[in-house]
Amino acid sequence: MTLGTNQVSKTHSFMTVSLIELWERFGYYGMQALIVYFMVQRLGFDDSRANLVWSACAALIYVSPAIGGWVGDKILGTKRTMLLGAGILSVGYALMTVPTENTWFMFSALGVIVVGNGLFKPNAGNLVRKIYEGDDSKIDSAFTIYYMAVNVGSTFSMLLTPWIKDYVNAQYGNEFGWHAAFAVCCVGILVGLGNYALMHKSLANYGSEPDTRPVNKKSLAIVLALAALSVVASAIILEYEDVARVFVYAAGVAVLGIFFHLIRTSEPSERAGLIAALILTVQTVFFFIFYQQMSTSLALFALRNVDWDFQVFGTHLWTWSPAQFQALNPIWIMVLSPVLAWSYSWAGRNNKDFSIAAKFALGFAVVAIGFFIYGFAGQFAVNGKTSSWVMIWGYASYSLGELLVSGLGLAMIARYVPARMGGFMMGAYFVASGISQYLGGVVANFASVPQDLVDPLQTLPVYTNLFNKLGVAAVVCTIIALAVLPLMRRLTESHHAHSSIENNAAASLRDVKAEQ
């Protein structure tokens, strides 16, 4: 096979994975755009319960890939586990289409989605790595396009599912619109599976070792049985706040314990990098507390205190659905990603690039600006309603902060953590991110509004007070991030020095072996 033909083959393989990822994210973000509204408006949950249920679900969704990746690598195979996860996700979204107000039914459906996501998400990403394994020049650009696929899928679904919900509700009553929108999420993942069925031969040469063997029916039965138990456990965690709280805090203690154990037992040459990774992981946890506001407090703010009519110089252009404002996040990510990538390249060429720690500090500063935009919106509101432009520019700052912090999180793990514990630490990083999603729901509850409080003039200060406090908190995070920069610089220099010594030693050993 020629080099050019091999590259075309890899491109086809990459497109197969990217398309199923695009449609899976279409389903997930279409559901996320509506789920808090569904609990508040359809099921009658108060704000506090809806925020905590969804935040606990988000935490489980972030934790579960740590297990799903292991199943793909060691038991069923990467491709099979990805497909099994996609199939389970389609069942979860299908259950959300059933028009019932039974809360246990919804919790069970969300539990199925948690399990499906845990099996799908890490294995789709692992396939991309396997396709370009050993080709460092291609893998960065591949993951950039892959991340773009995620944002394309989420943008379209966050715009489409709220519109379908509103349209069907207007035509057939409040009971059916929600479930019609969730049905679209199910259709999305089924389309992704259909694409894979047509293109699966392009992945014939990729996968983990179990993919090369026939399916072990006993192993598959065990995985399915454990998946069913995990659905039940997830539903219980979502139903009972005390159980969710214990689960999340126990996971937090476990992650910290893992970090300290690894630092204590690691080689002296590895400790500087691990300490740096711990500091940046803690900062990432605080970022995701801010991030979780998008689908909780900010979503409810858009519902109650934002003018949904989009206007330019007083001229009406179109009307937003409150859930559609969440699509501003992936839209801004797509707009800002190329600009940021170009700026990183320019800074690198001109020796003006700055460290990941400095980028984290800048990210927190930008997030603070976004929350102050939301907070100060109350000064310009008319009858308790603020302009759509507030959401547009607030989300712009929010999304830039996401790219600077969350977008560099995995790069931080890859840069500072020894390769022998890289996979394990990636899992720990995602668990830490999941914990902060739940904590974000706890923070959002400071702006919980009683169900009988419907006057925008009364709800507005509840939200703006929270947003201003979050802006101040983000400023404090910025100051702390700046304060630890000298320490991070010393740790990074020590890490690089030890890495350089180890690389030189490895190179010398290779030279000796070559001479022999």
pLDDT attached to residue 133: 65
pLDDT attached to residue 109: 94
Distance, C-alpha 305 to centroid of its chain: 26
Beta-ladder partners of 385? 382
Q: Which two tokens stand for residue 339?
A: 């600009």
In this prediction, residues 195-221 reach a mean pLDDT of: 81
Reported confidence tier of residue 174, pLDDT bands at 50, 70, 90:
low
Reported confidence tier of residue 483, pLDDT bands at 50, 70, 90:
confident
Q: What is the CATH number of the domain that holds 227?
A: 1.20.1250.20
Kind and range of the H or E run holding 312: strand 309-312
**Dist CA 370 CA 283 (whole Å):** 18
In a domain, 299, yes or no: no
pLDDT attached to residue 516: 43
**Dist CA 383 CA 385 (whole Å):** 6
Distance, C-alpha 465 to centroid of its chain: 26
In a domain, 198, yes or no: yes
Looking up tokens 């990403």 gives: 125
- The CA–CA distances, whole Å, from 59 to 94, 434, 436 equal 22, 4, 7
Q: Which two tokens stand for residue 223?
A: 């995985």
Contacts of 118 (CB under 8 A, 6+ apart): 61, 63, 64, 65, 66, 67, 68, 85, 230
Work out the percent of the chain whose per-residue pLDDT is above 90.
Answer: 22
- State pLDDT tens for residues 404-456: 876 555 555 556 666 555 556 666 777 888 888 889 999 998 888 887 777 88
Reported confidence tier of residue 471, pLDDT bands at 50, 70, 90:
very high
Half-sphere exposure of residue 169: CA atoms within 13 angstroms, side-chain side: 16
- State pLDDT tens for residues 325-379: 999 998 998 888 788 777 766 776 777 666 667 777 888 899 999 999 999 888 8
pLDDT attached to residue 3: 46
Q: Which two tokens stand for residue 145?
A: 């396009």
Q: Which two tokens stand for residue 330?
A: 């992936």
Alpha helices for 201-240 (secondary structure H): 217-239
- State pLDDT tens for residues 256-302: 787 777 777 777 766 777 777 777 777 778 888 898 898 899 999 99
**Dist CA 123 CA 194 (whole Å):** 18
Reported confidence tier of residue 124, pLDDT bands at 50, 70, 90:
confident
In a domain, 191, yes or no: yes
pLDDT attached to residue 230: 92
- Dihedral over alpha carbons 186, 190, 195, 197 (to 10 degrees): 160
Total structural domains within the chain: 1
In a domain, 184, yes or no: yes
Task: For residue 508, give the 3-state DSSP assignment.
Answer: helix
- Assess contact for 281 and 427: CB atoms under 8 A: no
Contacts of 190 (CB under 8 A, 6+ apart): 90
Q: Which of 244, 282, 298, 241 is nearest to 444 (CA)?
A: 298
More confident position, 66 or 460: 460
- State pLDDT tens for residues 17-58: 888 888 888 889 999 999 999 999 888 899 999 999 999 999
In a domain, 419, yes or no: no
The CA-based angle 225-226-228, given to 5 degrees, is 65
pLDDT at position 71 over 80: yes
- Which domain range does residue 162 map to? 9-203+211-239
Q: Which two tokens stand for residue 346?
A: 């320019």
Contacts of 510 (CB under 8 A, 6+ apart): none
pLDDT at position 461 over 80: yes
Mean pLDDT across the chain: 80
pLDDT attached to residue 258: 75
pLDDT at position 196 over 60: yes
pLDDT attached to residue 508: 45
In this prediction, residues 127-149 reach a mean pLDDT of: 64
Q: Which two tokens stand for residue 276?
A: 């740096």
Looking up tokens 């800048």 gives: 362
In a domain, 177, yes or no: yes
- Assess contact for 89 and 27: CB atoms under 8 A: yes
Say what the pTM is: 0.83
The amino acid at 387: S
Task: For residue 436, give the 3-state DSSP assignment.
Answer: helix
The number of beta carbons lying within 10 Å of the beta carbon of residue 414 is 13
In this prediction, residues 89-97 reach a mean pLDDT of: 93
Q: What is the chain's alpha carbon radius of gyration, rounded to the nearest angstrom?
A: 23
- State pLDDT tens for residues 308-327: 777 776 666 677 888 889 99
The number of beta carbons lying within 10 Å of the beta carbon of residue 174 is 12
Give the torsion sign (CA, 49, 52, 56, 57): positive
- Dihedral over alpha carbons 267, 269, 271, 275 (to 10 degrees): -160
Distance, C-alpha 175 to centroid of its chain: 30
- Assess contact for 436 and 286: CB atoms under 8 A: yes
pLDDT attached to residue 510: 41
In a domain, 181, yes or no: yes
- Assess contact for 385 and 304: CB atoms under 8 A: no
- Assess contact for 121 and 68: CB atoms under 8 A: yes
In a domain, 274, yes or no: no
Q: Which of 280, 270, 278 is nearest to 357 (CA)?
A: 280
Helices (H) and strands (E) in the chain, counts: 18, 2
Lowest mean pLDDT among 124-138, 150-164, 171-185, 405-419: 405-419
pLDDT at position 141 over 50: yes
pLDDT attached to residue 368: 94
In this prediction, residues 390-403 reach a mean pLDDT of: 89
